[in-house]
Amino acid sequence: MLHDKKFMTPTLIIIGVIIILAIAVIGMYNALIKLKNRVDEAWSDIDVQLKRRYDLIPNLVETVKGYAAHEKETLEKVVQARNQAMAAQFGGDAKKQVEAENALSSTLKSIFALSENYPDLKANTNFIELQRELSDTENKIQAARRFYNGNVRDFNTKLEVFPTNIMAGMLGFKSREYFEIENKEEKENLKVKF
């Protein structure tokens, strides 16, 4: 009987260690899945706002066309940038989508610059409402980008810390890229001249 107790103690310790390790692995895996899902949800929030912007742009272009018919090139650039951004959205490449969205943001600025040359357009209630909605949408896109980037930060940090990094590598979890502004002009402060 004494011999059986000596044998049982190491066996129980080994079983206990295995159970603790299994619980730790399950906890790490669940935490990674939870963070991955938050990143995916945040990316989806960006997509919703981008879709809203895509829907507003044709109305804005049509409104401007009525007042600035000879600005056809500018309007075509906006429509082309919108189409490229929409195509990039379904391509699955986050980096290409970010680049396309940054290009679209730049071309949208040209439409609002046009309004300065056309006082009637600037005073048009439809144009003003579309401009307000687009501005509101841009603010929501910025908020969604910040939310996404915060979740990417948390997810990437979890992937890099020990011991989760070992398990994440074995299970194929990959770090995500931030949604950043690529255009250096957009990062600069706006210069206002009177």
pLDDT at 68: 67
- Considering the domain boundaries, does residue 76 fall inside one? yes
- Considering the domain boundaries, does residue 94 fall inside one? yes
Mean pLDDT, all residues of the chain: 82
- Considering the domain boundaries, does residue 168 fall inside one? yes
- Considering the domain boundaries, does residue 152 fall inside one? yes
- Considering the domain boundaries, does residue 163 fall inside one? yes
- Considering the domain boundaries, does residue 98 fall inside one? yes
Average pLDDT of the residues in 146-159: 95
- Considering the domain boundaries, does residue 167 fall inside one? yes
Average pLDDT of the residues in 39-59: 89
- Considering the domain boundaries, does residue 49 fall inside one? no
Indicate if the pLDDT at residue 183 is higher than 60.
no
For the chain, give the percent of residues with pLDDT over 90. Answer: 32
Total number of domains in the chain: 1
pTM, entire model: 0.71
Max Cα–Cα distance, the chain, nearest Å: 101
pLDDT at 192: 34
Indicate if the pLDDT at residue 1 is higher than 60.
no
Question: Of how many residues is the chain composed?
Answer: 194
Domain hosting 148: range is 16-37+54-178
Pick from 148, 112, 146: which is nearest to 128 by CA?
Answer: 112
Q: Which residues contact 93 (CB under 8 A, 6 or more apart)?
A: none
pLDDT at 194: 28
